[in-house]
Amino acid sequence: MALACAGLAQASPTQEPIQPIQPAKVTNPAAVELGKMLFFDTRLSKSGFISCNSCHNLSMGGTDNLKSSIGHGWQKGPINAPTVLNSRFNLAQFWDGRAADLKAQAGGPIANPGEMAFTHELAVETLKTIPGYLSAFRKAYGSDEVSVDRITSAIAAFEETLVTPNSRFDKWLKGDKKALSADELAGYKLFKDSGCVACHNGPAVGGGSFQKMGLVEAYKASSPAEGRVAVTGKDADRFNFKVPTLRNVELTYPYFHDGAANTLPEAVDTMGRVQLGKKFTAEENARIVAFLRTLTGDQPRFTLPILPPSADATPRPRPFE
């Protein structure tokens, strides 16, 4: 194993099935700033308490660490909330891929009665009443017109920036031979040799294909969701789900579309059995988990608190001023 890992350490990044995450390139900073405000604004929900960040918490790996998210009226969804971090690399959005891109995805939760339970029309009318938002739309798009198209475009522009470069694994890919330990390198070799990279590859280590959950051994899901078949209507797509990214995976528990695996060792064991037909030993499992933990990169950082524009832009004196 030591010799194998030594050889692995000399590999060129161009020869690897995983590529480093590159920092985001911002072309319209005003749209990104507007999208950030909208992402954190609870006024886009019927209750006034739910925002995009409620289920895709940027301080928790871009998810909420719940088996299924809690929406309007304490409703629980049928599926685990995927991370929004590095979602720009996905071939489509949502587990079943029903949204072609981030812009198409952004409008879904706002009008979903089980999530934010608002309507697009009310979202537009609400934002029109807030002078600070009119100014932000003008800065981003050249006029203060508020529309669903602009709302979703801005949220998507912000989400495009939510990438997590500079993980220890990326540093190793770029030539830092000391970035990974022997066990972590051994875990990466197992990850490749076992076939995990057939689905978990590319910059996001996933997100690039739809695959059947339970390829070798039937998977008994705790969720009624049936995956891609809901979009295509083809029985062959039943239980086909978008392969999740493994970037920052140590932060995004619980795992799978039904949130059934609470820990990384449990997830690795299950995936080995149902997808690969392989039972990892405790040592192999620990090494793969050690590798997976090296995929955590720089998390998004913002000046806090993030306060969307007030409904009243007129300064008011506070008591005792």
Q: The tokens 């709302």 sit on which residue? A: 151
3-state secondary structure of 214: coil
Structure tokens at 130: 């807030």
- Which of the four pLDDT bands, split at 50, 70 and 90, describes residue 241? very high
> Which pLDDT band holds residue 17 (cuts at 50, 70, 90)?
very high
Instruction: Say how far apart CA 246 and CA 252 lie, in whole Å.
Output: 9
SS3 readout for 33-50? HHHHHHHHCHHHCCCCCC
Question: In this structure, are residues 174 and 13 in contact, taking their beta carbons and an 8 Å threshold?
Answer: yes
Query: Which run of H or of E encompasses 210?
Result: strand 210-212
Cα separation, 262 vs 243, whole angstroms: 18
What is 108-155 written as a DSSP string? HHHH-TTTT---HHHHHHHHHT-HHHHHHHHHHHSS----HHHHHHHH
* Predicted model pTM: 0.90
Three-state secondary-structure class, residue 20: coil
Angstrom distances, CA of residue 80 to CA of 44, 142, 157, 171, 261: 21, 38, 24, 30, 11
As separate numbers, helices (DSSP H) first and strands (DSSP E) second, the chain gives: 12, 2
Average pLDDT over residues 222-233: 96
Contact by Cβ (8 Å): 304, 178: no
Q: Which of 115, 160, 184, 284 is catalytic?
A: 115
- Among 5-19, 243-257, 264-278, whose mean pLDDT is lowest? 5-19
CA distances to 56, 246, 294 from 5, in Å = 36, 22, 16
Whether residue 214 has pLDDT greater than 50: yes
Residue 45: predicted pLDDT: 96
Q: Give every CB contact of residue 220 below 8 A, 6+ residues apart in sequence.
A: none
> For 17, phi and psi rounded to 5 degrees?
-75, -10
Q: Mean of the pLDDT values across residues 2-24?
A: 66
Distance between CA atoms of residues 112 and 115, nearest Å:
5
- φ, ψ of residue 227 to 5 degrees: the values are 80, -145
- Residue 306 is predicted with a pLDDT of 73
Active site residue 283: no
| Lookup result for tokens 């909420």 | 64
Tokens describing residue 3: 């010799």
Q: What mean pLDDT do residues 172-192 have?
A: 97
How far is residue 181 CA from its own chain's centroid? 27
Q: What is the pLDDT of residues 122-174, one digit of tens each?
A: 999 999 999 999 999 999 999 999 999 999 999 999 999 999 999 999 999 99
